């Protein structure tokens, strides 16, 4: 094997940094070659850049530029090699974007078609519902017209029957009067042929004229009208008979022959001032409720409901007194005051903290729902109260 020269060793990348130091100590002309060796260590490279002179620095700059140029060429080659794949990827991305756009358009179109179908179905249902409603209204109107027509016919038939019954009753009454008093077509004084004057036969004949058309109610009404007509005719006949015979008879006996009573009012019956004086009666004296917090309320009703915020059926017809209670020791509907027997009475309406009557040191709690006369101060919760009654 032929031994290598120092220049070959200085340029060989396999030469160790230690050997490189021996080479530059032996031959200073090889500084630039050692500095450009890829296996040179950094301390030696820095020493050669500083002590090697301009030649070494130029060699190192050329090496750096060649390295940069090689890297750029490699990068360009790599990019050129990647261009087909990138173009293919870009084409795929564009195709995917187009497909996504088409899918979005198809979805929007499908949604629009579904909305149109739903709108059309809704319109059809609305039209069908309106058609059914119109049919039902038409049926109801037809039924109502038929009912009205039927009622009109029934009412007309009832009116005709009632008119006929009334005419029959009047004819029977006239016949009864003529039979009773001898008023006939031939003249006054002799009964008509075929009439006996018997009332029962006349009523029977009159009733038979319209019996076939009268209902039970109409027949009863016609019979009542005939009875009244006969009583009136009988009274008139008796009055005429008494006057024709020259006597007063029973009709005249009912008339008082004494002079008419003096109906003129006495002078004592008149009053110069006929206006009546209205007397005012006061049911209760003026009463003022005073709370310990300084609030005062005039009681204007016989029933007063006390509390933070009285409500419910118990307050109907009563005066409601709302008392400010920041401690909330008073119930919303706490107690009731009532005026009767010339005195005020108090009732605990099942409040939480009860009702106490009497002074603060001698207060007595009253039972719930039991009315107790009130003659002094009282307490609702922590609130002392008192009634001031005007004398």
Edge to edge, the sheet with strand 335-340 lists 319-322, 303-307, 335-340, 343-348, 372-373
Domains held by the chain: number: 2
Confirm whether 52 is domain-assigned: yes
Edge to edge, the sheet with strand 364-365 lists 296-299, 287-291, 383-389, 378-380, 355-357, 364-365
Q: Which domain holds residue 384?
A: 287-389
Residue 53 in contact with residue 47, Cβ under 8 Å?
A: no
Q: What's the Cα-to-Cα distance from 359 to each of 5, 89, 364, rounded to whole Å?
A: 133, 100, 9
Orientation angle between helical segments 216-244 and 54-181, nearest 10 degrees: 40
Confirm whether 115 is domain-assigned: no
Distance CA 366, CA 130 (A): 69
Confirm whether 183 is domain-assigned: no
Which of 40, 65, 87 marks a domain boundary?
Answer: 87
The candidate with the shortest Cα–Cα distance to 172, out of 92, 224, 229, 102, is 229
Which of 57, 87, 117 marks a domain boundary?
Answer: 87
Per-residue model confidence (pLDDT) at position 387:
92
Q: Beta strand pairing status for 372-373 and 383-389?
A: unpaired
The CATH number covering residue 295 comes to 2.60.200.20
Helices (H), 306-382: none
Confirm whether 136 is domain-assigned: no
Distance CA 48, CA 56 (A): 7
Confirm whether 13 is domain-assigned: yes
Confirm whether 366 is domain-assigned: yes
Confirm whether 385 is domain-assigned: yes
Per-residue pLDDT of the chain (391 residues; tens, 9 = 90+): 577 788 888 888 888 988 888 888 888 888 888 888 888 888 988 888 888 888 888 888 888 888 888 888 888 888 888 778 777 777 778 877 878 888 888 888 888 888 898 899 889 988 888 988 888 888 888 877 776 666 566 667 777 777 777 777 777 766 665 555 454 434 444 444 444 444 454 444 444 544 444 456 666 777 777 777 677 766 666 656 654 444 444 443 443 444 444 444 455 544 455 555 544 455 678 999 998 878 899 999 999 999 999 988 888 889 999 999 888 999 999 999 999 999 999 999 999 999 999 988 888 999 999 999 998 899 998 889 999 988 7
Confirm whether 264 is domain-assigned: no
- Which residue shows structure tokens 């990647």? 82
Which of 33, 59, 87 marks a domain boundary?
Answer: 87
Burial of 57 (C-beta count, 10 Å sphere; 0-12/13-18/19+): middle
């Amino acid at each position: 094997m032929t031994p290598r020269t120092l220049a070959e060793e200085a340029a060989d990348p396999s030469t160790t940094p230690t050997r490189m130091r021996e080479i530059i100590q032996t031959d200073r002309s090889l500084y630039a070659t050692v500095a450009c060796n890829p296996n040179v260590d950094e301390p030696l490279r820095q020493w050669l850049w500083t002590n090697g002179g301009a030649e070494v620095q130029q060699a190192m700059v050329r090496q750096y530029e060649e390295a940069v140029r090689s890297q750029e060429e490699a990068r360009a080659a790599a990019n050129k090699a990647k261009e087909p794949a990138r173009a293919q990827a870009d084409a795929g991305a564009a195709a995917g974007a187009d497909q996504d756009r088409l899918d979005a358009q198809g979805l929007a179109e499908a949604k629009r078609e579904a909305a149109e179908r739903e709108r059309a179905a809704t319109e059809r249902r609305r039209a069908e519902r309106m058609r059914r409603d119109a049919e039902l209204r038409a049926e109801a109107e037809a039924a109502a017209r038929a009912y009205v027509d039927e009622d009109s016919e029934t009412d007309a038939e009832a009116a005709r029957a009632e008119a006929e019954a009334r005419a029959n009753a009047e004819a029977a009454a006239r016949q009864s009067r003529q039979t009773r008093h001898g008023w006939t077509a031939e003249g006054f004084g002799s009964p008509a042929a075929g009439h006996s004057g018997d009332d029962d036969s006349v009523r029977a004949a009159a009733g038979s004229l319209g019996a076939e058309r009268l209902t039970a109610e109409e027949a009863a009404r016609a019979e009542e009208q005939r009875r009244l007509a006969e009583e009136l005719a009988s009274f008139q006949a008796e009055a005429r008979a008494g006057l024709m015979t020259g006597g007063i008879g029973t009709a005249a006996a009912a008339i008082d022959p004494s002079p008419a009573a003096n109906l003129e009012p006495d002078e004592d019956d008149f009053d110069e001032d006929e206006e009546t004086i209205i007397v005012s009666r006061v049911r209760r004296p003026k009463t003022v409720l005073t709370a310990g917090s300084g609030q005062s309320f005039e009681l204007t009703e016989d029933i007063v409901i006390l509390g933070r915020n009285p409500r419910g059926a118990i307050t109907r017809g009563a005066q409601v007194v709302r008392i400010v209670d920041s401690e909330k020791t008073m119930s919303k509907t706490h107690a009731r005051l009532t005026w009767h027997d010339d005195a005020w009475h108090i009732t605990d309406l099942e409040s939480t903290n009860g009702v106490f009557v009497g002074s603060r040191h001698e207060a007595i709690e009253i039972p719930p729902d039991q009315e107790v006369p009130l003659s002094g101060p009282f307490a609702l919760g922590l609130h002392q109260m008192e009634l001031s009654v005007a004398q």
